[in-house]
């Protein structure tokens, strides 16, 4: 499993996931205001390359960056880590917590079950 992203790294990764691939200026433009400094973005991108989250192709003096992991893959890893570290790797404990924290009732749970069943058959 790849390392966990810091808040700044995740912000940059969100931009990269949104554009798919692009140059540093494209990534910088994708960030919400107030944007970090352009040099800060370059520094974070270099860290993401070192961590293995981003790869690049060089065209002259410019690098085109792209993710090595999808947003869905990273989300699944983070979710699994959360489940293991906070809920003893128990789906039941995780779901119970989620239902309590979000004031969900059995009707909501049944709706979730129907969605899951439908997705498994698609």
Chain-centroid distance, C-alpha 43: 19
Whether a cis peptide bond, with omega within 30° of 0, leads into 12 is no
pLDDT single digits (tens) 11-40: 999 999 999 999 999 999 999 999 999 999
Identify each DSSP E strand in 13-77 by its residue range: 22-23, 54-59, 62-67
pLDDT single digits (tens) 90-119: 999 998 898 899 888 889 889 988 999 998
Element spanning 54, H or E: strand 54-59
Residues pairing with 62 in the sheet: 59
Grade residue 2 by pLDDT with cuts at 50, 70 and 90. low
pLDDT at 122: 75
pLDDT single digits (tens) 57-97: 999 999 999 999 999 999 999 999 999 999 999 999 998 89
Provide CB contacts within 8 A for 11, sequence distance 6+. 31, 36
Q: What is the pTM of this model?
A: 0.81
pLDDT at 1 exceeding the cut of 60: no
pLDDT at 30: 96
């Amino acid at each position: 499993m790849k390392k966990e992203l810091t808040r700044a790294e995740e912000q940059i990764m969100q931009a990269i996931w949104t554009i798919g691939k692009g140059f540093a200026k494209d990534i910088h433009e994708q960030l919400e205001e107030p944007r970090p400094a352009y040099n800060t973005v370059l520094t974070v991108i270099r860290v993401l390359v070192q961590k293995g989250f981003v790869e690049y192709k060089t065209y002259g003096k410019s690098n085109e960056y792209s993710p090595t992991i999808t947003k869905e893959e990273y989300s699944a890893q983070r979710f699994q880590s959360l489940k293991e570290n906070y809920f003893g790797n128990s789906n039941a404990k995780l779901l119970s917590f989620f239902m309590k924290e979000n004031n969900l009732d059995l009707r909501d749970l049944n709706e979730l079950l129907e969605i899951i069943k439908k997705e498994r058959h698609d």
